Amino acid sequence: MSTAQQSIAWSQVRARFHERGLRWTPQRRTVVEVLSAVNGHITGAEVVERCRSQDSETTPSTVYRTLDALEELGLVRHGHGADGREEFHVSPGGEHGHLYCASCGSRWEIGPDAAQAVLAAFREADGFQVDLSHVTVVGRCASCSASAGE
Amino acid sequence: MSTAQQSIAWSQVRARFHERGLRWTPQRRTVVEVLSAVNGHITGAEVVERCRSQDSETTPSTVYRTLDALEELGLVRHGHGADGREEFHVSPGGEHGHLYCASCGSRWEIGPDAAQAVLAAFREADGFQVDLSHVTVVGRCASCSASAGE
DNA sequence: GATGCTATTGCAACTTGTTGCAGTAAGGCG
DNA sequence: CGCCTTACTGCAACAAGTTGCAATAGCATC
- Hey, are the CB atoms on B122 and A145 less than 8 Å from each other? no
In the predicted model, is pLDDT for residue A1 greater than 70? no
In the predicted model, is pLDDT for residue A144 greater than 90? no
Q: What is the largest CA-CA distance in chain B?
A: 58
The dihedrals phi and psi of A137, each to the nearest 5 degrees, come to -85, 130
Per the CB < 8 A criterion, the answer to whether B32 and B70 are in contact is yes
pLDDT category of residue B10 using cuts at 50, 70 and 90: confident
Q: How far apart are CA B67 and CA B64, in angstroms?
A: 5
DSSP bridge pairs for B129: A140
pLDDT confidence of residue B2: 46
Residues of B whose CB is below 8 A from A125: 110-111, 113-114, 117
Nucleotide nearest to B78 (CA to C1'): C17
Nearest protein residue, CA measured to C1' of D28: A21
Q: How far apart are CA A136 and CA B138, in angstroms?
A: 11
Tell whether B118 lies on the interface with A, counting CB pairs under 8 A: yes
- Hey, are the CB atoms on B114 and A122 less than 8 Å from each other? yes
Per the CB < 8 A criterion, the answer to whether A66 and A13 are in contact is no
Residue scoring higher pLDDT (B143 or A69): A69
In the predicted model, is pLDDT for residue A121 greater than 60? yes
Angle at A137 between CA A132 and CA A140, to 5 degrees: 145
| SS3 readout for A71-82 | HHCCCEEEEECC
Lowest mean pLDDT among A41-45, A65-69, A135-139, B21-25: A135-139
